Amino acid sequence: MEERLQKVIANSGYTSRRKAEELITKGKVLVNNKVVKELGTKVTDADEIIVNGVTLEREVKKEYYLLYKPAGYICSLSDEHNRKIITELIDTKTRIYPVGRLDYDTTGLIILTNDGELSNLLMHPTNGVEKVYRATVSPIMKIEDFLTLKNKGVTVNGRKVKPSRIKIKSKNENKNSEIIEISLIEGRNHIVKNIFKEFGSEVIKLKRERYAFLNLDGLAEGGYRELNLKEVKKLYSLKKNSK
């Protein structure tokens, strides 16, 4: 978010707004290593501000949201095709971004935050964060294929992936489709669709129901809530070797 330079300096607790203005006009403030004397210059979180020779420490408030993503939204910060983007669903002025991605047509649980450290931790495969998906798959898989996937896994784009759990929830013989619950640590793009594609089946509907210990309880499609402190701490505790 862009803000006026004197406001950013004042908000950091360095000095008052009036003093900040004085420092700026006296040429004591550098933005990205250039002296800025213009009051009202706009800066973002990405700009480095130096006041009286010292880098300004800016405390950006961390925000954490759990969103029930509807279909028809992309998980990105902008889209060249003008499609709707998931951050539009969340009422905040902070620049937040999704932790990983769900496809345009996928629904379900996604976390959004401006906490890069937590985001990296959750996406790093060694931390073993489990994601649970409910996939409607067609045609119905051969039982041998299902068992191969369950017991041995499958190679997708040259890399082996094995579900941590997988079960058939129901079958619709008329439509030649079945609902499969699949749990993965793996976080590659389109991974669920690609897994079933290896067996000649298509994922016609996909919903992420769980992310680590978090679920969608109490939320309607398009709805969201903030994570509480306990949940954020619990997510941080997923880091391996941190216990």
Q: List residues binding ligand URA (CB under 6 A).
A: 102-103, 106, 190-193, 206
- Candidate list 103, 115, 145, 217, residue with the active-site label: 103
How many helices (H) and strands (E) the chain has is answered by: 6, 17
Closer residue to ligand URA in complex, CB, 14/146: 146
Give percent helix, percent strand, percent coil of the chain, each to the nearest 5.
Answer: 25, 30, 45
Question: How does DSSP classify residue 156?
Answer: E
**Neighbouring C-beta atoms of residue 129, cutoff 10 Å:** 21
169-192: b (≥16 Cβ within 10 Å) or e: eeeeeeeebbbbbbebebebeebb
Least distance to ligand URA, CB of residue 191, Å: 5
Q: Which is nearer to ligand URA, 17 or 159 (CB)?
A: 159
What is the Cα–Cα distance from 243 to 124, expressed in whole angstroms? 17
Compute the least distance from the CB of residue 192 to ligand URA, in Å: 3
Residue 141, helix vs strand vs coil: coil
| Residue with smaller CB distance to ligand URA, 190 or 210 | 190
Instruction: Tell me whether residue 45 is one of the annotated catalytic residues.
Output: no
**Closest approach of Cβ 230 to ligand URA, in Å?**
27
Residue closer to ligand URA, measured from CB, 9 or 184: 184
CB of 21 to ligand URA, least distance (A): 48
Please, which residue, 106 or 177, has the CB nearer to ligand URA? 106
d(CA 84, CA 86): 7
Distance (Å, rounded) from C-alpha 216 to C-alpha 108? 8
Structure tokens at 208: 């992420």
Which of these, 212, 3, 2, 37, lies nearest to 118 by C-alpha position? Answer: 212
Would you please indicate which residues are annotated as catalytic (active-site) residues?
A: 103
